[in-house]
A and B are shown apart, each in its own frame.
Chain A
């Protein structure tokens, strides 16, 4: 066996190892980014009771909405670590939407709106939402990089051998994709 033959066998093996290492490193980066979302979502889940406490005393007419948020928060807490990622993302999206509705509804209660602690809570909530959005974008970028690595040859062969599958992207909920009906806003 000549050095040329050894090199011809070794080079593809080294390249395959490098590709494999790159796939694993990208998968770990995506998982790390995913845990970043968890941290931020936990912050939001912890913040919600405070906002509800401030809002509840003023928003008697939004009882259903407040109850929905409380229920969704409990479901999110139960789902973390147990439910499938897609199911959990859907619950988080529902919770986010309901919280958005609550913050819009605050506008109808001038007394609540002018409360200093409500203003602070709204600012903190907006900041947590910004962090969640950044964590999702970070996860999507890491997920894309991982997806590219396992779908481009020879990564697809390595992924098939190791049983690796792409991680899901964070996407907006269907309700957010629908065009805004400006008329209904103006009529209400």
Chain B
């Protein structure tokens, strides 16, 4: 039921973004200059990589231009028979769309070099760039430990997954994993996307009490249908937070300990940030055992600033990349979970010393 409500809610946000035009913006404009630390990293580690990257870009640009030329000149040899074939079928009363498949095939052939360049750009630069933010590792095709969080309620059931941009690391004793994730579930006739966005798994150095879920608000009726039998609703004091989220927990008091007034403000700020930066459409998080799972839904594509038509030496997009990386790697600090961990570790040590 909650999957259906989630899909319904996402459709609503998508329509709103189409209506206000934000869905058509590829990237958010960033006026903030690069930080000194990032500039130094570019000078020392990034610039030496730019020459081979630029050579690769020129090669792929030439391939794309050549493919486009041939697609325009000789594409008709493929699409014209397909069109005639479809029209003949249409005349006999059947609907065939082979011309669309031919067009799609030609389009992929043309843009494939661009996709290769984007992938190569990420593979070369990202492992270097993430190091500016601390002890982080980047893997273009990696994925969070889905098996470890599969049993959590916020993780929807799915039959197919695709993932990219895996970043992992450690911040103040908290293990961090992030990846962009798309989860689909097969239906009778077609597949439904049950999640698209960023998934973050945090492994805390202490045990959380109870089981607390901060889910999206689906309205009174929707929340009633999505409610869990095991957890009770936690009514919180922040009206804006209550408007955007629905909280339930097995431990009312501990849920309020986790969701202090300041934490509620931080989660609201995080939600707002992703809505503004990545066409975000809401977030949910779950606290259980020693894990925190954050599922941030968004329609945008983070960490994808490479442009085949722009020289690799042109570093105009790096401020955006820096901000997106800072946004992802700064999640623990943004939510001040490092303080929470430090306090709880001190409590554990104090208890064992008694």
Enumerate chain A interface residues (CB-CB to B < 8 A).
Answer: 33, 36, 120-121, 123-124, 126-127, 130-131, 133-135, 137-138, 141-142, 145
Q: How many residues of B contact A (CB 8 A)?
A: 15
The segment from B17-25, B193-201, B342-350 found at the interface with A is B342-350
> Do the beta carbons of B350 and A134 come within 8 Å of each other?
no
Query: Given that A33-B252, A137-B237 are contacting pairs, would A123 and B346 also be in contact in the complex, using a CB cutoff of 8 Å?
Result: yes
**How long is the Cα–Cα vector from A20 to B257 in the complex, in angstroms?**
31
A68 to B11, CA, bound (A): 61
A137 touches B347 (CB 8 A): no
B260 touches A127 (CB 8 A): no
Residues of B within 8 A of A (CB): 235, 237, 252-254, 256-257, 260, 342-344, 346-347, 349-350
- Measured CA separation A145–B235 after assembly (Å): 10
Tell me the interface secondary structure of chain A in the complex.
helix
List 5 A-B pairs, Cβ < 8 Å: A36-B253, A120-B346, A123-B342, A134-B253, A134-B256
- C-alpha spacing A133/B261, complex, angstroms: 10
Residues of A with C-beta under 8 A to B350:
120-121, 124
Q: Chain B residues near A138 (CB, 8 Å)? A: 252-253, 256
Q: Is the CB of B260 within 8 A of A124?
A: no
Residue contact B253 to A33, C-beta cutoff 8 Å? yes
Hey, which chain B residues are within 8 Å of A142, CB to CB?
A: 252
B252 touches A127 (CB 8 A): no
Query: How far does the alpha carbon of A123 sit from the alpha carbon of B347 in the complex, in Å?
Result: 8
- What residues on B are CB-neighbors of A133 within 8 Å? 256-257, 260
Q: Do A127 and B346 touch (CB < 8 A)?
A: yes
Interchain nearest-CB distance for B62 vs A (Å): 60
- In the complex, the answer to whether B256 meets A137 with C-beta atoms within 8 Å is yes
- By a CB distance below 8 angstroms, the chain A residues around B254 are 134
Query: B253, B254, B344 — which one has the most chain A CB atoms within 10 A of its CB?
Result: B253
